[in-house]
Structure 1
C-alpha cells in the first residue's frame, strides 16, 4: 500500500529589511574581484563577504581576521600565517572592508582618536594597519550608523589614506576605495576630483535624509538609484544559513 505525500512548500518570503540591503551592498563590493582575500571587520560586512562567495564570487578567500582561512560555514579550512597575510596585503591580493569612526569627502578615514592628536578627547583603536591597507590593496568601508559625526568635513587624524592625500604623495598606483556602505546607502568616488558620490539609496531612505546626516557636500546626481534587491535565494541564505541568529538587526537599527 502506498501513501500519497504532499510536496512541501516554503512560506512566502517577507520583504527585505534595511540590514539585509546593507549585507547585499557590502557583498557587491567584492563582485568581479577574482581570487582575493575578503577581509571584513564587522558582522554585516562579514556576512556580505560570505554572501558574495556563496552567490557570485566563488573564488573569494575568507578569513577569520586572525590566522585562519575559513569556509562558508565559518569553520577553519587552512592556516594563514601572518607573513603570508602581509604578502597578500602588500601584493594587492586582499580587499578589506574596514570601519570608520570618521571619513571625509575624499575617503580619508580615522580610527585613531577624536580631537587633537597630541591631546585627544577620545582614544580609539589606533592607526593599526590602515595606511598600509589603503596604499597597497583595495579598501572599502562599512559604517552602520551614518551621521555628521562620522561623515565629516575633515578627519581629526588620517588613518586610512584618501584620494587627495594619495595623489599628493604620488601613491595613486595601488590606491583604490571601491565603495563606502552605510545604513542609508552606498557611496563611491566616481567623480572628476575623486570626491564622495551618492551611488544608491537603500529603499525607504531619501536624498534629504542622506544630506542631513552628512557633514560635507556630497555629489548627488539627478536620479539616484536604489540599492539592488536581494534575490530570493540570497534572502534565504542570509536568514537561514549566514545569519540565522539575526545579528544583523543588532548592528543596523532602523
Structure 2
C-alpha cells in the first residue's frame, strides 16, 4: 500500500510508549550485545537496531547472533558471551520482582531468605550482570509491591552496594528503569531513583501512589518521547504484527 493510500495511523498506545522507552536504552550504543528479557524489551531492542542503533548485536537467546528478521548472522559461543559480559560490552534489560530507590533488584524470594513466603526465580546471573555490564530494568506493572523501600534480597546490585565495593563494580551502571508509568534513572547526587519521563496520561500523583518509597516527582516532569510514524509502522506491521506486546501492558491509547 502506498503512503498516499495508507490509512492514518491510530494514536500510540501506552504499550508503544513503553516499547520506545525500552528502545532508547540502546540509543547509539555501538557494537554491543543487547540482551532484552521480556516481550516489550525485545521489541524495543529490535526497533533500536532497525532505526538509531544499527550496530547492536542481537541473539536468539541461545548461541546465535541474529539480524532483525531472525536471519542467522554468526555464532556466539558461551565463552565469547561471557567475555562480552565481563568487559562491559553488553547491556541487559532484566525484570524485577522488587526494586528499591538505589536500584537494588530482587528476583529470588519474598520474605526472609531462610524461610521465604514466596520462592521466585533465584539469583541467577543478576550479580554478574549488574557488576560487569550496564543493566536496565523493565517492570510491566508499577506498584508498591515492586517499587519497595528495601528489597528482601539483593540479586541485582544497586548504586549503594556498588559504592561500598568499588573495585568489584568497574562497569556497574543502571541506565534506566522502564515501567508502564514512566522512565526512571539515577542521575541524582546520591544515586537514588528519580523520574526521567512519564508516559502520556500518567500523573505525578499516580506515580507517587504506586511507589513504596519517597519518590520526588516534579509536576513538570518531561513526557516520554512519542513514537514516530515510521517507528509505529515498524512496531505494528514488521516487528510485532501479532500484537504480542499487549500481553504485558494493556493496549489503551495514551491520553
What is the deviation of 1:222? Answer: 4.6
Give the TM-score normalised by the residue count of structure 1: 0.95
Q: Is contact 1:188–1:199 with CA below 8 Å preserved after alignment?
A: yes
Quick one: distance in 2 between partners of 1:32 and 1:8?
A: 32
What is the deviation of 1:221? Answer: 3.2
Q: Deviations over 1:183-227 (max 9, x none)?
A: 000000000000000110000111111111100011323520100
Give the TM-score normalised by the residue count of structure 2: 0.95
Question: Larger C-alpha radius of gyration, 1 or 2?
Answer: 1
Alignment-derived partner of residue 199 in structure 2: 202
Alignment-derived partner of residue 172 in structure 2: 175
RMSD, aligned α-carbons: 1.3
Gaps of 5+ in 1: 1-5
Alignment-derived partner of residue 217 in structure 2: 220
Quick one: distance in 1 between partners of 2:228 and 2:171?
A: 33
Alignment-derived partner of residue 110 in structure 1: 106
Quick one: distance in 2 between partners of 1:211 and 1:220?
A: 7
Quick one: distance in 1 between partners of 2:234 and 2:28?
A: 20
What is the deviation of 1:8? Answer: 5.3
Alignment-derived partner of residue 3 in structure 1: none
Q: Deviations over 1:61-86 (max 9, x none)?
A: 01122211111112432221111101
Q: Deviations over 1:149-208 (max 9, x none)?
A: 000000000000000000011244311000000000000000000000011000011111
Quick one: distance in 2 between partners of 1:122 and 1:133?
A: 24
Quick one: distance in 2 between partners of 1:127 and 1:66?
A: 20
- SS at 1:224 equivalent: coil
Q: How many residues align?
A: 249
Q: Is contact 1:41–1:65 with CA below 8 Å preserved after alignment?
A: no
